[in-house]
Structure 1
Amino acid sequence: MRTAYSVDSVRAAERALMARVPDGALMQRAAAGLAVACGQLLGRVYGARVVLLVGSGDNGGDALFAGARLARRGAGVTAVLLAPDRVHGGGLAALLRAGGRVVDAPVGGGADGSADADGSAGVSERALAALDGARLVVDGIVGIGGKGGLRAPAARLVRAAAASGALIVSVDLPSGVDADTGQVRGDAVRADATVTFGTYKPGLLVDPGREYAGAVRLVDIGLDGELGAHDAALEALQYADVERLLPVPGAESDKYRRGVVGVVAGSARYPGAAVLCVAGALRAGAGAVRYVGPAADAVVARFPEALVSAGPPAAAGRVQAWVAGPGLGDDDAFLRDAVAADVPVLIDADGLRLVDVSAVRGRDAPTLLTPHAGEAAALLGVSREEVEGARLESVRELAARYSATVLLKGSTTVVASPGGGAVRVNPTGTSWLATAGSGDVLSGLAGSLLAAGLGAGDAGAVGAFLHGLAGRLAAEGAPVGAQDVAEALPLAWRDVRGA
């Protein structure tokens, strides 16, 4: 399990560890790891031009000490100081002793962010010129406690760094990204790589912050023992976690023990939603799928093993979970019947628009809602942009408001439980999954896992992992359709199990 901790938890852990180790030991550990990562990115350190963008916090100190190590290996290192009067003294002295150079960034308007008359945003020409010919730029501007976008001088330097063509490496977190949420409120660094210390921060794993972080490397500075006293804010399943949760039939299994999932989906206008939902359920290991709805002919034509019924769901036969909503149109009769059942229910697509909030909140059995950003925005009464810019806040609010587990689909898929706790973030996927019907496959897949006995949080997280992995395997860098994703689910399953 990959875990991420809040800024408050990280700082508390750092304080506890610093009380037991020599002064400055944590910064030296961080700087050593940062220098190694920079050296590997450079390939050849000797003779390489490296520029450090240095703010006033500990990230600036990390950058300076790492720069000193690179300078001792023969790199030409220049530190551009955005706050010369508040720079980390020990780091600056170490860089100068190693032969590094220093340039003050602020002129005129200064570091408060005001611009000069020529529009240079308070940045000296020497600072901008230092970036010419740089192979690597280290972003040590703002630490994990930073809020809001970059101030004007820093933003000007970051734009110049991006234009220089140099590799950009952020220290702990890209400056301008909120460490706890991944939100970006203004200018921020778009890094090629981020070297983070002690533990992952939520903003590195959730978009839009994840997009700004580039490749993320975790450097161990000894925080593991201290973080154990704090609850993780975010969790990301890894292969071993998913393999442990996969429902695998035993010698005594029959179709009922493996789980029977009911599907209420499709309409005369959208029969394909029913077919794709059933496909996801069958490819995810359901012992049987009972389909209820008007697309029975289309479902049986594609999957003769499906058990079809004219409805209502209560008369369809025994199921261990229901999936309701994909392609329903405006008819909510079968949806209401499924939601009233005393088994786990997954609600998606049209079901999210039609369902009665009080009916969801009043359920005793688990409920899993699977909205995309637009559907989540409608449920919350906000704009889609607000949801996409604050994915963690949005999924937590939905889970609390509906007393349900919520899987918020998107570039970063996240799963939150109604009781709080760590949000699960999905590490798999591909942009090619942004295709019609892909969500219907995911609904059937996660519904099958619910029927097999997984809890709503595990079913959502494992379903998203397998769905994202199947998308990658099906696409291999080329466009795919939802049927391709469904057909790749067995490949994803085998991949997880190491077969």
Structure 2
Amino acid sequence: MRTAYSVETVRAAERELMARLPEGTLMQRAAAGLAAVCVRLLPRVYGSRVVLLVGPGDNGGDTLYAGAKLARRGAGVTAVAMDPERVHAGGLAALRAAGGRLEAAVPGRADLVLDGLVGIGGRGALRPAAAALVERIPAGAVVVAVDLPSGVDADTGEVAGAAVAADVTVTFGAYKPGLLIDPGASRAGALHLVDIGLGEVLPAPEAEALQHAGVAGLLPEPTPSSDKYRRGVLGVVAGSARYPGAAVLAVAGALRGGAGAVRYVGPPAVADAVLARYPETLIGTGRVQAWVVGPGLGDEGGPEVREALAQPVPVLVDADGLRGLDPGELRARAAPTLLTPHAGEAAALLGVARETVEAGRLEAVRGLAERYGAVTLLKGSTTLIAPAGPGPVRVNPTGTPWLATAGSGDVLSGLAGSLLAAGLPAVDAGSVAAYLHGLAARLTGGPLLAHQVAEALPRAWREVARRH
């Protein structure tokens, strides 16, 4: 699992560690790790052309010391400073001693560019001088961001203007949330973590991203004594005369989600459509271990949502079911609630503009979870899952833009609901569902249809279990 920490937490850990170590130790560790990654990225170091874009802080110092190490191995290293009057003195001296040079302009050609303009403390838009250097990065060069791409907010992933689009980001000590959450994540490229010793002093993380091993450990597996009822029964309240497909797709995701049975409750005509596609489905009311309510209900779904929420079992609320939710009623529930809005629905629940949610996804998902007392899965380019109480926000790493297609959210709801019925806690059910859903889409490729994602879920499940 990749764990991410806020700037404040990382800074505090660095101060604690620096108090125990000789001055400059952490910077030298960072520079050595950065240089080692650069060596692997270059076909050969000797004779290569390396450009350092250097800011005035410690991030620029890390970059200069790494450039010095490359210069000592025969690379031609040129540093260009955002502010020539404010350059890390020790780093610049080391670079010059190794044969590197400081120039006023970015060369027109380079094999590799190190972005050391702004560190993790940067906020808001880049200064004009930094933005101008970003615009002059030579085409065709491999771009390596130092700690994070300049222009990306380390805590949130927000991008306020121009920002570096890195091929690789070498981050020090710990991942930062902005490297895992879009739009910052899409600017970071491949991530490399350099261990500088912070692990021994870091507290609990602010965010975390599941990987195959973590997901495999959460997958519900039947035992020799299992029957369909012990494995869990999911009730699905979805679909309407206008949106019958939502019910079919939610049931499709649910049947492949690990529960023993899926029970559909809805209009007879929609039930017929569900049965025609999935004869395994149970029809009508009965005992369930969890509910999914909302996909495709239209404007008349309020009573069904309230009825499900009144029952002492986990409930997933999606799509039309999210309208008019009462925060007080949800917070009073004894059983878990899982909300799965997209950005527009999240904006309505929070009473803000959609653009506000999209610009600050981490703040939005935390705000929803706190306001409604419910685990919240915020769908989007980076799907986030926030617990109802304390704990890190989960970041799903498997998403793909091809999932931006009609009905894919219905499949996700059914899948997550089935995992709830199988006994997973709401945070794990949402996280595992998002992971498998994204992986199934990747395995399918694009363009894709929502039902193809559902059909690929068993393959994604086996892929996770096999690698583990």
Q: Same fold (TM over 0.5)?
A: yes
Matches within 5 A, 1:418-437: 418-437=388-407
Check if 1:131 corresponds to 2:101. no
1:340 corresponds, among 302, 310, 316, to 310
1:318 corresponds, among 265, 279, 287, to 287
For 2:218, the equivalent position in structure 1 comes to 245
Instruction: Give the Cα separation in 2 of the matches to 1:421 and 1:287.
Output: 30
Instruction: Give the Cα separation in 1 of the matches to 2:342 and 2:204.
Output: 27
Instruction: Give the Cα separation in 1 of the matches to 2:139 and 2:432.
Output: 42
* Residue aligned with 2:85, SS: helix
Matches within 5 A, 1:106-121: none
For 2:344, the equivalent position in structure 1 comes to 374
For 2:130, the equivalent position in structure 1 comes to 154
For 1:355, the equivalent position in structure 2 comes to 325
Check if 1:467 corresponds to 2:467. no
For 1:85, the equivalent position in structure 2 comes to 85
Instruction: Give the Cα separation in 2 of the matches to 1:457 and 1:164.
Output: 43
For 1:7, the equivalent position in structure 2 comes to 7
For 1:496, the equivalent position in structure 2 comes to 464
For 1:265, the equivalent position in structure 2 comes to 238
For 2:296, the equivalent position in structure 1 comes to 327
RMSD: 1.2
* Residue aligned with 1:278, SS: helix
Per-residue displacement from partner, 1:432-482 (whole Å, max 9, x unpaired)?
11111100000000000111111111111111111111111122xx21111
Instruction: Give the Cα separation in 2 of the matches to 1:323 and 1:83.
Output: 56
Instruction: Give the Cα separation in 2 of the matches to 1:141 and 1:451.
Output: 49
2:188 corresponds, among 213, 222, 233, to 213
The runs of 5 or more residues in structure 2 that have no matched partner are: none
For 1:121, the equivalent position in structure 2 comes to none
Structure 1 residue 354, shift from structure 2 partner: 4.4
Check if 1:486 corresponds to 2:454. yes
Structure 1 residue 36, shift from structure 2 partner: 1.5
Instruction: Give the Cα separation in 1 of the matches to 2:324 and 2:117.
Output: 48
Tell me which amino acid in the other structure corresponds to 2:159.
Answer: V
Matches within 5 A, 1:24-103: 24-103=24-103
Per-residue displacement from partner, 1:406-455 (whole Å, max 9, x unpaired)?
00001100000121321000111211111111000000000001111111
The runs of 5 or more residues in structure 1 that have no matched partner are: 104-125, 310-315
For 2:119, the equivalent position in structure 1 comes to 143
Tell me which amino acid in the other structure corresponds to 2:458.
Answer: P
Q: Number of residue pairs matched?
A: 464
Per-residue displacement from partner, 1:346-386 (whole Å, max 9, x unpaired)?
00011112434443232221000000111111111222221
For 2:174, the equivalent position in structure 1 comes to 199
Instruction: Give the Cα separation in 1 of the matches to 2:259 and 2:420.
Output: 10
Tell me which amino acid in the other structure corresponds to 1:58.
Answer: D
Tell me which amino acid in the other structure corresponds to 2:304.
Answer: F
Structure 1 residue 224, shift from structure 2 partner: 1.0
For 2:423, the equivalent position in structure 1 comes to 453
Instruction: Give the Cα separation in 2 of the matches to 1:367 and 1:467.
Output: 20
For 2:199, the equivalent position in structure 1 comes to 224
- Please say if residues 233 and 288 of structure 2, whose CA atoms lie closer than 8 Å, have aligned partners that are also in contact: yes
* Residue aligned with 1:330, SS: helix
Q: Which stretch of structure 1 is more off in the superposition, 344-353 or 82-91?
A: 82-91
Per-residue displacement from partner, 1:4-44 (whole Å, max 9, x unpaired)?
01111111111222222222121111111111111222212
Instruction: Give the Cα separation in 1 of the matches to 2:464 and 2:139.
Output: 41
- Please say if residues 330 and 354 of structure 1, whose CA atoms lie closer than 8 Å, have aligned partners that are also in contact: no
Instruction: Give the Cα separation in 2 of the matches to 1:260 and 1:79.
Output: 63
Tell me which amino acid in the other structure corresponds to 1:68.
Answer: A
* Residue aligned with 2:230, SS: helix
Instruction: Give the Cα separation in 1 of the matches to 2:337 and 2:181.
Output: 24
- Please say if residues 441 and 453 of structure 2, whose CA atoms lie closer than 8 Å, have aligned partners that are also in contact: yes
* Residue aligned with 2:45, SS: coil
- Please say if residues 131 and 164 of structure 1, whose CA atoms lie closer than 8 Å, have aligned partners that are also in contact: no
- Please say if residues 335 and 355 of structure 1, whose CA atoms lie closer than 8 Å, have aligned partners that are also in contact: no
Instruction: Give the Cα separation in 1 of the matches to 2:125 and 2:141.
Output: 22
Instruction: Give the Cα separation in 2 of the matches to 1:199 and 1:98.
Output: 29
- Please say if residues 346 and 370 of structure 1, whose CA atoms lie closer than 8 Å, have aligned partners that are also in contact: yes
Structure 1 residue 333, shift from structure 2 partner: 2.1
- Please say if residues 264 and 291 of structure 1, whose CA atoms lie closer than 8 Å, have aligned partners that are also in contact: yes
Tell me which amino acid in the other structure corresponds to 1:62.
Answer: D
* Residue aligned with 1:21, SS: coil
Check if 1:187 corresponds to 2:155. no
1:441 corresponds, among 393, 405, 411, to 411
* Residue aligned with 1:392, SS: helix
